[in-house]
Amino acid sequence: MASQQENHPRTKSMVGGMTVLGLAGIICKLIGVLFTIPLTRLIGANGLGIYQAVYPTYNLLLTISSAGLPVAVSRLVSACLARRDPRNAKRTFVTAAVLMTAIGVCFSILMFLSSGYLARRVNQPESLAGFRMIAPCVALVCLLAAFRGFMQGQQDMVPTAISQLIEQVGKVVIALPLAAIGVKTSVALGAAYALLGITIVEGVALLYIILLYLRRRARFGALPQESTDPLLSRSQTARELILISIPITLSACIVPLASFVDSAMLVNRMLAAGLTLEEARPLYGLFSGLVIRLINIPTALALSISMSLVPAVSSARAVGDTKMVQNQCDLGLRFAFLIGFPCSLGMSLLSKEIVAFFYSGSLTAQEMESAASLLSVSSLTVVLFTVVQATSAILQGLQYQKIPMYTLVAGVVCKIALNYVLVGTPGIHIHGGPIASLVCYTVSMVPNLIFVIKKTGMRFQWKSWVLKPGGAALIMFLLTMALKHVLPLSHLTTILEIAFGVAVYLAAAFLLGAMTKEDLKSFTRGFHRKKGKA
């Protein structure tokens, strides 16, 4: 089955997209982690707490305004192109760009005008300037997301990958110097100027993708119009986009909403647990600013799977190819477990080494110990999150976008309840956050898998999805743990341990049949094909 699906052109396209986005995502997340090292040195853990107090609100508004429509654009454009109907694909994109610009501008204005309230809500008045500095960013990213959705609908992930790299490299080049200027006045202004840098960088990324679109516009216009479907009116297109995007947006908002609640709850609940504000705020900064950023490195691969799955499944469904729908779903879920298991176990095992590698010069010994403890538990969410993302993308591609919304709601309700209880418990405080996240994604993942199997008519592939990659990850864990006890803690040995773990996992995966030579060929083949397009 694996070899057949790898040889199908749509599968090659999906694997190529996963490769491009996955590599770019890992690079971007690594740069994001590296960005926090000098940023933490510049503004300290206290300043990082102020910086992170702004991000959940920005993320929530950004998700509300831009999460659902790009997925809807990607899905509708891929379906139109599968039916050889580029005319309606173009109409979909133009309508979405207008909608997202209008929505983004409204939310940017809302964030700027309510910045005083938002700063008081997170119990950090110093964050006022930061809210104002990043407010215009919402409008910029909304329009950027429309262009990304259009390109992804063509199953071309290179523009998205490059624009993401521009965002991350730009943070280092622009945001850090601005933070250095601001911190001369105060820590709070240093955090605010760093956020201003992010706004400027998003403008640069938007400019890149607009110029690319203008350069490719004639090529897209030359695509033959073979479909006899009538041209949809702008109101019809807008209505269809909104109907598709609302449940996707609500689903995408659930986790940022939980983070938005956490941004006020976690600090306040730690205060209830007996910590002072001076103790609680740095812990919140470590958890949300450092640990979550480290977790986001492997979850970039999860996002690459989900972004590639939506247009791939939607395209196969549009032409009624049930077998290909099942093949794409099987491939996506197999890669989700194949990537998630080793990332979760490896990061958990080497949590202390990873934190020391990135932040030994930026944090105190006590802060490093706290961050490593948080990472060892938080990293176990990676495999759960990866499968949640893959199953959500499959259900969205099949037009069952309400299901992942409901399952995430259930998970986040559990997360908020556990955060309230655990973080407010003396002796646990911030360490309750990772436990709540584990429960959240487990509650979301199980029903998602059940519905994917039910809606596609597939069987749960225990061996290829769970047993083989899980067994390979366990072998990696045991052998790397043995090596860890032999080698001393240093930057060089951390690199050696990670490289050893990757090599052992790949060897074990091939030995157990979790990965095949055809898998590697499809990754390489897809990547070179996409690179050629660029």
- How many residues are recorded in the chain? 534
Q: Is the pLDDT of residue 520 over 90?
A: no
Query: Which of 347, 302, 309 minimizes the C-alpha distance to 71?
Result: 309
Which pLDDT score is estimated for 9? Answer: 42
pLDDT at residue number 4: 40
Quickly state the pLDDT bin for 285 (edges 50, 70, 90): confident
Average pLDDT in the 357-383 region? 89
* Radius of gyration of the chain from its Cα atoms, rounded to whole angstroms: 23
User: Quick check: 368 and 380 in contact, CB under 8 A?
Assistant: no
Other CB atoms within a 10 A radius of the CB of residue 458 amount to 16
Cα atoms in the Cβ-side hemisphere of radius 13 Å centred on 238? 10
Most confident among 47-61, 393-407, 474-488 (mean pLDDT):
474-488
- Label residues 498-525 b or e (16+ Cβ within 10 Å = b): bebbeebbbebbeebebbeeebeebbeb
Count of Cβ atoms closer than 10 Å to residue 87 Cβ: 17
Dist CA 250 CA 246 (whole Å): 6
Q: Which has more confidence, 122 or 272?
A: 272
The Cα–Cα gap between 80 and 261 comes to 39
Q: Are 456 and 326 in contact (CB under 8 A)?
A: yes
Q: What is the pLDDT of residues 456-486, one digit of tens each?
A: 988 888 999 999 999 999 999 999 999 998 8
Map tokens 């929505």 to a residue: 103
209-221: average pLDDT:
91
pLDDT more than 70, % of the chain = 88
The pLDDT, as a whole number, for residue 383 is 94
How far apart, in whole angstroms, are the C-alpha atoms of residue 473 and residue 64?
36
Q: Determine the pLDDT at residue 300.
A: 72
Query: Average model confidence (pLDDT) for the chain?
Result: 84
Residue 125, judged by CB atoms within 10 A of its CB (0-12, 13-18, 19+), counts as exposed
| Tokens (6 digits) for 437 | 């996240």
Mean pLDDT of 18-45: 75
What confidence score (pLDDT) does residue 3 get?
40
- The stretch 195-211 carries a mean pLDDT of 94
Assess whether pLDDT exceeds 50 at residue 528. no
Nearest to 148 by CA among 73, 249, 81, 199: 73
Phi and psi of 228, rounded to 5°?
A: -100, 10
Determine contact, residues 533/526, Cβ cutoff 8 Å.
Answer: no
The pLDDT value recorded for residue 1 is: 39
pLDDT band of 391, cuts 50, 70, 90: very high
Check: CB of residue 336 under 8 Å from CB of residue 467. Answer: no
pLDDT at position 522: 53
Q: Which pair of tokens denotes residue 54? A: 């702004």
Compute the C-alpha angle 299/300/303, nearest 5°: 90
Residue 453 has pLDDT above 90, yes or no: yes
Q: How much of the chain, in percent, has pLDDT values that exceed 90? A: 35
pLDDT bin (cut points 50, 70, 90) of residue 197 is very high
Nearest-angstrom CA–CA distance, 250 and 280: 31
Dihedrals phi, psi of 224, to nearest 5 degrees: -70, 140
Distance CA 335, CA 331 (A): 6
Cα distances (angstroms) measured from residue 411 to each of 161, 211, 429, 441, 446: 30, 41, 20, 6, 10
> Cα–Cα distance between 139 and 199 in angstroms, integer?
10
| Predicted local confidence at residue 18, as pLDDT | 59
For residue range 85-112, list pLDDT tens digits in order: 999 999 999 999 999 899 889 989 999 9
Specify the pLDDT at position 16. Answer: 58
**CA–CA gap between residue 284 and residue 286 (Å, rounded):** 5
Residue 140 or 530, more confident: 140
Lowest mean pLDDT among 37-46, 63-72, 197-206, 379-388: 63-72
Q: How far is CA 123 from CA 120, 244, 354, in A?
A: 5, 37, 31
pTM, entire model: 0.70
Picking from 312, 354, 323, 254, the residue whose alpha carbon sits closest to that of residue 78 is 312
